[in-house]
A and B are shown apart, each in its own frame.
Chain A
Amino acid sequence: TQLLEQSPQFLSIQEGENLTVYCNSSSVFSSLQWYRQEPGEGPVLLVTVVTGGEVKKLKRLTFQFGDARKDSSLHITAAQPGDTGLYLCAGGGGGKLIFGQGTELSVKP
């Protein structure tokens, strides 16, 4: 069974701080997605990584896919209150998405 371990599960920081969220597995994934979800809404796709070792940047967000395609990280620079939300990593497997437990991020002004 493929599992994705996401950490930390909760993170509360001050505006301007940096943070990193990790997504780890013992299984190889053909692709990995990162989503952001706000309360009462569906997840919104942030990025898809497909190549081992690749790094993608989305403004202040930097996404890395591990060389072995078993892990990924999301780094946010100078976090802002608008970054508050639930961040989910998800790996493709057998046509279904395997989700991590999620990271609840709170950025205080």
Chain B
Amino acid sequence: GAVVSQHPSWVICKSGTSVKIECRSLDFQATTMFWYRQFPKQSLMLMATSNEGSKATYEQGVEKDKFLINHASLTLSTLTVTSAHPEDSSFYICSARGHSTEGGETQYFGPGTRLLVL
């Protein structure tokens, strides 16, 4: 259980185009999902919290008009990188909040999306 998928797994695009990344919780409903960005050999940096049916909450320094988040259902959140530039190239990972079998809340992560902007 607690499987989270991401699509696409990798994408190459030209500078100035927009890219949409989907995050789905496959076997549970997730009212809250999270979007992270990760640079090579570094930890995860939280970009925003995605809440079903309401606006996303962005972390300080993350441009909400640049990284559009939509959480239209209990199993799907999307991240759109608008007018992508080479500096947006990164590994984007989503997670969905769920309950750990050991008690307490935890997050289940998707496999990530590698974005390369040329």
Distance in angstroms between the alpha carbons of A63 and B103 in the assembled complex? 16
Given known contacts A41-B112, A48-B100, is B44 in contact with A88 (CB within 8 Å)? yes
Q: How far is the CA of A40 from the CA of B106 in the complex (A)?
A: 22
> Which B102-118 residues sit within 8 Å CB-CB of chain A?
102-112, 114
Interface size of A by CB at 8 A reads: 28
Evaluate whether A100 and B112 lie within 8 angstroms (CB atoms) in the complex, with A48-B106, A50-B102, A95-B97 already known: no
* Given known contacts A43-B93, A101-B43, A95 and B111 CB-to-CB distance under 8 angstroms: no
Best-buried of B34, B91, B102, B114 by chain A (most CB within 10 Å):
B102
The reply to whether A88 and B32 form a contact with Cβ atoms under 8 Å apart is no
A50 near B111: Cβ-Cβ < 8 Å? no
Tell me the number of A-to-B contacts counted with CB atoms below 8 Å: 71
- B residues less than 8 Å from A86 (CB atoms): 41
> A100-B43, A102-B43 given as contacts; is B109 within 8 A of A42 (CB)?
yes
Q: How far is the CA of A31 from the CA of B112 in the complex (A)?
A: 24
Mask: chain B, 6-22; 1 = CB below 8 Å from A; 0 = not: 10000000000000000
Tell me whether A42 and B42 are in contact (CB under 8 A): no
Q: Which residue of chain A is the closest to B10 with respect to CB atoms?
A: A40
Residues of A within 8 A of B (CB): 6, 30-31, 33, 35, 40-45, 47-50, 56, 86, 88, 90, 92, 95-97, 99-102, 104
